[in-house]
Structure 1
C-alpha cells in the first residue's frame, strides 16, 4: 500500500480551497469542481479526464478498490489522505463517501457541437432548467441514447453543482457538454441545416411522427415556463408528446427522455 501525506486540520489551506468548490463562486474562481465516490472517480479515470487530486478517508481506505489508488499513482494523480472531519468539510452530503476528486472544468465549446463527425447529430439544448437533478437526468438520457452533445444556455443551473454531478452518474464524462448563448448558437446551427426542435402542448406534430433521423438540436425548457419565448421563436418545429391519461404535462426530464428515446428508435437502436 502506498502511503500518502495526511491532512488532519479543517483549517488547512488546501481544505479551505476544496471547500470553496461547493459553491459556484468558488468553482468559477478556481476553474475546478469536485466529484464524490468511487463510481464517479472511476468513470473520470476511464474517460481520461485530467484529475488533479484524489482526496480519501484515511480511516476507510481499506474499503476502496486497491487498484484505484494504485492506478491514480501510476497516472501521476496527486493522492491525499484526510480525516473523516476534513472529508466531511469538503462535501455537501450528510454521509460522505470515502473519497472525492478535484478536476478542472470541462473545456468543450458550443462551436464544437456542430462538428458531429459521421452521421446526423443529435444535440440536447437546455434552456433554463433550474433543478440540478433534472439537468443530471437529462444528461444521463442524452448519454444513453448516444446524443452527440449537450448545450447549456444562460439561466441553467450550474453543471458543476454537486447535485447535478451526482445525478449524471458519470455521463458528464461521456459526451461533449458546452455552455453558450442560445440566441447565437441556435441560428448558427440552423444556418448549417440543423433542425431546431422543441416540445409544446400546442405542437401540431407528434414526436412519434417527426423525423429525428436528420441533424437535430432538441431544446428543453424551464420546468415551470417551458422554452423561453425568444428561443421558441428560433425553433423550426414544435412537437407534441401524446398522452392518453389525464396528466396535463410531464416533468422536464421525463419529457426530454421520451423524445430522446424516440429519436434513438428512429435512428436504429
Structure 2
C-alpha cells in the first residue's frame, strides 16, 4: 500500500492538475468511481494506473477487477495519499492516470456517418459547461465533439468530472482553430448550425436533415458575428417562459436531442 503523501509518485500524479504538465506528459487524472469505471471499461488501453483506497476497493470491486483483467496496474493507497493526488476536497476513493484520447481533426471527420451529428465548442471556457456538453452529446448519440483551441482544456479535472465518464464514449478532437474546424466540416458536406440567442430560425423550424454540426459559443457573449456568418443558419431555442436565457450546456443538449430525434424519424 502507498502511504506516503509526499512521495515522488504522489507528487507526479498531483502535478497533472497543471495544464503544462498534462501537455508535456500527455496524461491526465480521472477522479471518482464513475469516470474510472468508464475508462477501464471502454478505453482500458489509455489507463496507465488505477489508485484505490481499501474501502473503495471493496465497494467498487468491479472497477478493480475490470482494470486487472485489462492488465492495468492497480495500486492500493491510503486515503491521505489519494487526497494528496486529487484536485477535489473529498475524493471518492478511486482515481486513474490516463493517456489523452483526442484524435486529429481529419481522422475524426473521415469516420463520420452520412447522417452525422457533430458538436463544436468554439470558445467555451467554463469547465462544468464543457464537460456537461460532452455528456449531453454522448447521451444524444452525437458522432463527435470538436473542441477549439480557444476553449477550456478538456483534461482539466473539473471537465473530466463533469463528463461523468462520457469522455471515453465518443470521438473527440481538440486544439484546431475555429476557422479550421468550420472549413473542414464544410469541405465534408456537413451543414453548420450556429446555436445563438440572436438566431432568426427557431429550433423547431431548423433543417436537421443530413449531416450537420451545432456550433456553440461562449457562455457570456455567444458567437461572434464572423462565426455566425460562416454558418449555414443561426438557430435559437425558443424561450416560452420568463427566463432571460438558457445555460450553454442546457441549450446544447436541447439542440442535440432535436437532431437525434430528426435522425431517428428519418431512418
* Corresponding residue number in structure 1 for 2:207: 211
Residue correspondence of structure 1 range 18-33 to structure 2 within 5 A:
18-33=13-28
SS of corresponding position for 2:255: helix
SS of corresponding position for 2:118: strand
Shift of 1:116: 4.0
Return the TM-score normalized by structure 1.
0.92
State whether residues 216 and 223 of structure 2, in contact with CA within 8 Å, keep that contact through their aligned partners in structure 1: yes
Query: 2 CA distance for matches of 1:117 and 1:156?
Result: 23
Q: State the Cα deviation string for residues 62-119 of structure 1 (Å, max 9, x = none).
A: 3332x43233223221111222111101112121111111100013111123224443
Count of aligned positions: 263
Query: 1 CA distance for matches of 2:140 and 2:54?
Result: 39
Query: 2 CA distance for matches of 1:193 and 1:157?
Result: 27
2:7 to 12, 19, 31: 12
CA RMSD of superposed structures (Å): 1.7
* Corresponding residue number in structure 1 for 2:251: 255
State whether residues 196 and 217 of structure 2, in contact with CA within 8 Å, keep that contact through their aligned partners in structure 1: no
* Corresponding residue number in structure 2 for 1:184: 180
Q: Which runs of 5+ in 1 are unaligned?
A: 1-5
* Corresponding residue number in structure 2 for 1:144: 139
Residue correspondence of structure 1 range 132-171 to structure 2 within 5 A:
132-171=127-166
Query: 1 CA distance for matches of 2:144 and 2:257?
Result: 15
Residue correspondence of structure 1 range 7-156 to structure 2 within 5 A:
7-50=2-45, 51-58=47-54, 60-65=56-61, 67-156=62-151
Query: 2 CA distance for matches of 1:248 and 1:201?
Result: 10
* Corresponding residue number in structure 2 for 1:266: 262
Q: State the Cα deviation string for residues 24-83 of structure 1 (Å, max 9, x = none).
A: 122112110111222221111221332110111145433332x43233223221111222
Query: 1 CA distance for matches of 2:55 and 2:238?
Result: 53
Query: 2 CA distance for matches of 1:126 and 1:118?
Result: 20
* Corresponding residue number in structure 2 for 1:3: none
Query: 2 CA distance for matches of 1:181 and 1:49?
Result: 30
1:221 to 213, 217, 224: 217
Query: Is the helix fraction higher in 1 or 2?
Result: 2
Query: 1 CA distance for matches of 2:60 and 2:186?
Result: 48
Return the TM-score normalized by structure 2.
0.92
Pair 59,264 (structure 1): closer, same or farther in 2 beyond 3 Å: closer
Q: State the Cα deviation string for residues 216-248 of structure 1 (Å, max 9, x = none).
A: 111000001111333223111111222222223
Query: 2 CA distance for matches of 1:220 and 1:80?
Result: 40
Q: Which moved more, 1:191-200 or 1:215-224?
A: 191-200
Query: 2 CA distance for matches of 1:112 and 1:182?
Result: 17
Query: 2 CA distance for matches of 1:63 and 1:201?
Result: 45
1:193 to 182, 189, 192: 189
